[in-house]
Amino acid sequence: MPELPEVETTRRGIAPHLEGAAVSGIVVRQPRLRWPVPENLSPLLNGQRLNSVGRRGKYLLLNFAPGSLLLHLGMSGSLRVLPNGTPPQRHDHFDLEFDNNSLLRLRDPRRFGAVLWQPTGECHELLARLGLEPLREGSMATICIRSANHAASPSSS
C-alpha cells in the first residue's frame, strides 16, 4: 500500500502537469473499485479547470470549483500523467482527460483504490474521520477536522 510520503510524491508529481487545465473527458472502464465510482462525474467536471492538487492523509484531492475529486490508491494503485489517446492497459480503470493533451490514469490491479466526489464546502465522511494532518495545515484539513469534532458526541468517547 502506498504510504503517505509516496502519496505526497504523487501529488507533487502530477500537480505541475495538470493544474490550470480543464477537464475534456472522463473514461470509467471499471466502475466497481473499493466503492462505486460516482456516475455523475462527467456533468460535474467536463469543462471545469483543475485549481489545485491537494492531499489529505492518503487521499489525493483534485480541487475544482464545484468540489473535489478524491482519489485513493488502495493497496496497489498508481496514477500516471500520459498523453491523451494513450491506449489503456489491463487494470487501467479510470481516466481524467484534460484540454492540454494530457490525461490522468488510475491503474489499480486489486481494485482497492477509490474515485469519490466531495462538493465544495462539504467534507466527505472518509476525510472527516482522519486525524490531524502531519505535513501541513490547509483549509480542507481544517474543514474536515472541525466536522469530525462536531460529529463526535460526549457519549461516543
d(C-alpha 156, C-alpha 2), whole Å: 31
Please name the amino acid found at residue 129. R
- Told to judge if 3 belongs to the known catalytic residues of this protein, a careful annotator would answer yes
Of 157, 110, 112, 118, nearest to 140 (Cα)? Answer: 118
Cell numbers found for residue 129: 474521520
- How far is residue 91 CA from its own chain's centroid? 18
Residues designated as active site? 2-3
